[in-house]
């Protein structure tokens, strides 16, 4: 391999142009249903780009899709000068677009005016190639035009496959011709002795055990088969977005080959991560950095606290709705990668769980469920709603800390065991049991670490 490759990666900019409206009842209603920011996106992006420009040692920036909030042309046109500032500073920018960047049956461009949410100017998907030609496609050594995928040579010895997996609203994945093209590029890289890796929008490995149960449609279609083929062909690394979660996942194929998915949180939502990556012969070194300021009135709060408060408001709405308003929960569902249909299917166990969450401490809930003897005294005074809120925040932050043996894990394990018995009459196919087991497994992080990790090449 040549000299090490260094680059930054960001994803899910979800830019919302100020001209689309950032005040009024309609805006507030929309903003309160979002994990990420709306009005603040421009200021956050500017701060992040200033940070990248200030680093004179790294001249490559990768962006893994969802450039805009809802695909409004106003947002694309407002973002382009910001991207150009990176080029003007000597940065090479390689990006992919994704499903939030064009009008479709699942994405309608929107703006806010007073009490109304109204249509904004739509962006047809074919227009994206023209808009962002200077940010990757102009340097492509090969392009799969049908899918907007392309391959670039980043520097001597390194190539990047920029894969677009828009697919259809029902299936985010690759076409057969796209897969054929992808593997032809892999063979071309190998023939030239180049290391090749992938950037894709949707996750290629589950970021946690819960995700594929509720949100399999939001993963790369046929991800297990495709990642196995990639690993066994010598490709061991993909960078992804979409989930807004910090995670690094790894799988090993039956042939013993490793495959890493470095999934990165949205730049404009908690915890606003920037990946700093170095790749050499022996390892893939992944570091995580953050911005410490952006030009917006944060009411005296730090960047971290401001974004976390916004996220927490959204999560509290979800938890409260679980107990008291299943229809509102169904309305919120798309905001956390679930469908309204799934919410209604699970309304009985959700109601049980929601009622427990909103009214009791861990100790009181344990007494109510008849599992007091299984609860560590250190956990009894914790408000159950706060515990679940922290578990949800941890999923997005990464490096989840509640391992088996911790008071928090022990309490949730006792509750889940009791709930399994309560819902058994409704759970003929065992799906609810599977979900509850997945919740427990998602309380702690499987190796490697999600924020900073050294991933061996072999």
Q: Please name the helix (run of DSSP H) or strand (run of DSSP E) that holds residue 344, with its range, or none.
A: helix 340-345
Q: Please name the helix (run of DSSP H) or strand (run of DSSP E) that holds residue 440, with its range, or none.
A: helix 431-441
Q: Which residue has the higher pLDDT, 15 or 353?
A: 15
pLDDT tens per residue across span 281-313: 999 999 999 999 999 999 999 999 999 999 999
CA 46 vs CA 79, 107, 111: distances in Å:
10, 25, 22
Q: Please state the domain extents for the chain.
A: 5-296, 304-441
User: Which residues, listed in sequence order, are joined to residue 249 by a DSSP beta bridge?
Assistant: 261
**pLDDT given at position 1:** 57
Name which of 158, 192, 184, 97 is nearest 284 in CA terms.
158
- Helix crossing, 362-369 with 384-397: angle to 10°? 110
DSSP string, 300-332: T--HHHHHHHHHHHHHHHHHHHHHH-HHHHHHH
> What whole-number percentage of the chain has pLDDT above 90?
84
> What whole-number percentage of the chain has pLDDT above 70?
100
User: Which residues, listed in sequence order, are joined to residue 115 by a DSSP beta bridge?
Assistant: none
DSSP string, 92-105: EEEE---GGGS-BT
Spell out the residues 6+ positions from residue 233 whose beta carbon is closer than 8 angstroms to its own: 183, 186
**pLDDT given at position 120:** 98
Spell out the residues 6+ positions from residue 180 whose beta carbon is closer than 8 angstroms to its own: none
**pLDDT given at position 135:** 98
- Helix crossing, 407-423 with 384-397: angle to 10°? 110
Quick check: pTM over 0.85? yes
* Cβ-contact 314, 335 below 8 angstroms: yes
Mean pLDDT computed over 357-366: 89
Residue 337: is its pLDDT beyond 80? no
Between CA 201 and CA 12 the distance in angstroms is 9
* Cβ-contact 135, 148 below 8 angstroms: no
Angle at 11 (CA atoms; ends 99, 267), nearest 5 degrees: 120
Between CA 266 and CA 11 the distance in angstroms is 6
* Cβ-contact 94, 160 below 8 angstroms: yes
Average pLDDT of the chain is 95
pLDDT tens per residue across span 395-450: 999 999 999 999 999 999 999 999 899 888 888 888 889 989 999 999 999 999 99
Selecting from 3.10.50.40, 3.10.180.10, 3.60.21.10, 3.40.800.20, what CATH number does the domain 5-296 have?
3.60.21.10
- pLDDT band of residue 347 (cuts 50, 70, 90) is confident
pLDDT tens per residue across span 62-77: 999 999 999 999 999 9
**pLDDT given at position 356:** 76
Between CA 358 and CA 366 the distance in angstroms is 14
């Amino acid at each position: 391999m040549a000299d090490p490759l260094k680059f930054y990666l960001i994803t899910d900019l979800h830019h919302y142009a100020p001209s689309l409206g950032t005040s009024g009842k309609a805006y507030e209603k929309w903003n309160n249903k979002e994990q990420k920011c709306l009005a603040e996106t421009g200021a956050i992006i500017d701060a992040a780009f200033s940070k990248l420009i200030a680093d004179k040692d790294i001249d490559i920036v990768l962006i893994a899709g969802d450039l805009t909030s809802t695909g409004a042309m106003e947002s694309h046109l407002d973002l382009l000068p910001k991207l150009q500032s990176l080029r003007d500073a000597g940065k090479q920018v390689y990006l992919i677009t994704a499903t939030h960047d064009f009008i479709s049956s699942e994405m309608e461009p929107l703006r806010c005016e007073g009490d109304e949410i109204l249509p904004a100017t739509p962006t047809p998907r074919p227009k994206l190639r023209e808009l962002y030609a200077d940010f990757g496609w102009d340097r492509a050594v090969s392009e799969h035009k049908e899918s907007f995928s392309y391959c670039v040579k980043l520097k001597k010895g390194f190539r990047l496959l920029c894969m677009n997996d828009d697919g259809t609203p029902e299936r985010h994945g690759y076409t057969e011709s796209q897969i054929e093209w992808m593997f032809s590029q892999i063979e071309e890289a190998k023939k030239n002795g180049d290391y090749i890796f992938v950037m894709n929008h949707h996750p290629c490995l589950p970021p946690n055990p819960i995700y594929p149960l509720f949100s399999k449609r939001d993963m790369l279609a046929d991800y297990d088969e495709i990642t196995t083929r990639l690993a066994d062909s010598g490709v061991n690394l993909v960078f992804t977005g979409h989930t807004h979660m910090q995670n690094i996942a790894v799988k090993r194929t039956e042939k013993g080959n490793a495959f890493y998915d470095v999934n990165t949180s949205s730049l404009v939502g908690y915890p606003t991560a920037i990946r700093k990556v170095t790749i050499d012969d022996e390892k893939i070194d992944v570091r995580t950095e953050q911005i410490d300021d952006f030009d917006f009135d944060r009411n005296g709060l730090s960047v971290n606290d401001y974004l976390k408060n916004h996220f927490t408001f959204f999560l509290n709405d979800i938890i409260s709705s679980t107990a008291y308003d299943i229809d509102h929960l169904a309305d919120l569902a798309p905001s956390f990668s679930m469908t309204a249909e799934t919410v209604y299917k699970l309304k009985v166990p959700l109601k049980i769980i929601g009622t427990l969450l909103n009214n009791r401490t861990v100790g009181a809930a344990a007494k109510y469920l008849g599992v007091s003897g299984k609860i560590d005294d250190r956990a009894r005074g914790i408000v159950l709603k706060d515990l679940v809120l922290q578990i949800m925040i941890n999923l997005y932050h990464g490096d989840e800390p509640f391992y088996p043996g911790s008071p928090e894990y022990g309490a949730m394990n006792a509750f889940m065991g009791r709930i399994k018995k309560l819902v058994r009459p409704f759970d003929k196919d065992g799906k609810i049991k599977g979900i509850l087991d997945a919740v427990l497994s998602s309380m702690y992080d499987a190796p490697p670490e999600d924020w900073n990790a050294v991933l061996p090449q072999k």
